[in-house]
């Protein structure tokens, strides 16, 4: 069997293939996906409409969070790395209102998408990106657990939404390297 130069000579172990590409593992991913989606949904609902997040004083909560993170960037062994502190101080802090909306509605949308099982891999990736942003800002809390579960869902994107809308959405949408039925043109019949 000929292999192209981009293919590794190693196959996935059967247990990995079972976990990330076999629909028999879908019940496991369903439970993790719903749990993670609920965490994001409740976090987002706790922010949307609140004065310091998206209300009258939008951005105040983010400014407070960022100022605390900048304090953790000081000392000989800072919790926040200098490059990230620079980003927080120069980009995020001046745009705290925008970041408040992005966080609040981002959390809400990630939660909804995960619960519905719609574009699960993308939603989990966005959630992990948000978690990594919090971790880089020196906030631990539940972020490592949420980040780990989101990363697992990203790896299992093909089956993680099987008990959800992805069962129909993914075949219709496809991927950039393999377009789905919505993007395939019907062959012209010649009679």
Q: Residue 39 is encoded by which pair of tokens?
A: 């965490």
pLDDT, mean of residues 15-37: 96
The whole-angstrom separation of Cα 40 and Cα 32 is 12
What torsion, rounded to 10 degrees, do the Cα atoms 149, 151, 152, 153 define?
Answer: 90
Backbone Cα Rg of the chain? 21
Segment 119-131, tens digit of pLDDT: 999 999 999 999 9
Segment 17-26, tens digit of pLDDT: 999 999 999 9
127 lies in a domain? yes
CA contacts within 13 A on the Cβ side of 37? 24
The whole-angstrom separation of Cα 191 and Cα 188 is 10
122 lies in a domain? yes
123 lies in a domain? yes
19 lies in a domain? no
Q: What is the pLDDT of residue 191?
A: 46
133 lies in a domain? yes
SS3 141: coil
187 lies in a domain? no
62 lies in a domain? yes
SS3 78: coil
Give the number of other Cβ atoms within 10 Å of residue 184's Cβ.
9
Residue 45: which region, alpha, beta or left (left: phi > 0; alpha: psi -120 to 50)? alpha
Residue 10: which region, alpha, beta or left (left: phi > 0; alpha: psi -120 to 50)? beta
Instruction: Show the domain range for 55.
Output: 27-163
58 lies in a domain? yes
Q: Report the domain count for the chain.
A: 1
Give the number of other Cβ atoms within 10 Å of residue 173's Cβ.
14
Q: Residue 85 is encoded by which pair of tokens?
A: 């502190």
The verdict on pTM exceeding 0.85 is yes
The whole-angstrom separation of Cα 184 and Cα 136 is 42
Strand stretches in 18-114, DSSP E: none
Segment 139-150, tens digit of pLDDT: 999 999 999 999
Question: Would you give the DSSP letter of residue 164?
Answer: S
pLDDT class of 189 with cuts at 50, 70, 90: very low
């Amino acid at each position: 069997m000929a292999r192209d130069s981009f293919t590794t000579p190693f196959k996935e172990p059967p247990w990995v293939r079972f976990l990330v590409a076999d629909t028999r593992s879908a019940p496991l991913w369903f439970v993790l996906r719903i749990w993670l989606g609920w965490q994001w949904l409740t976090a987002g609902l706790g922010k949307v409409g609140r004065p310091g997040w998206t209300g009258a004083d939008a951005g105040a909560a983010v400014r407070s969070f960022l100022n605390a993170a900048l304090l953790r960037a000081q000392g000989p062994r800072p919790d926040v790395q200098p490059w990230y502190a620079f980003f927080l101080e120069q980009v995020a802090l001046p745009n705290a209102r925008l970041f408040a909306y992005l966080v609040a509605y981002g959390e809400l949308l990630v939660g909804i998408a995960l619960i519905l099982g719609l574009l699960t891999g993308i939603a989990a990736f966005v959630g992990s990106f948000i978690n990594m942003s919090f971790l880089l800002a020196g906030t631990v809390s539940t972020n490592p657990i949420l980040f780990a579960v989101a990363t697992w869902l990203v790896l299992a994107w093909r089956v993680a939404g099987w008990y959800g809308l992805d069962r129909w959405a993914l075949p219709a949408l496809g991927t950039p390297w393999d377009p789905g039925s919505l993007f395939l043109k019907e062959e012209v019949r010649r009679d």
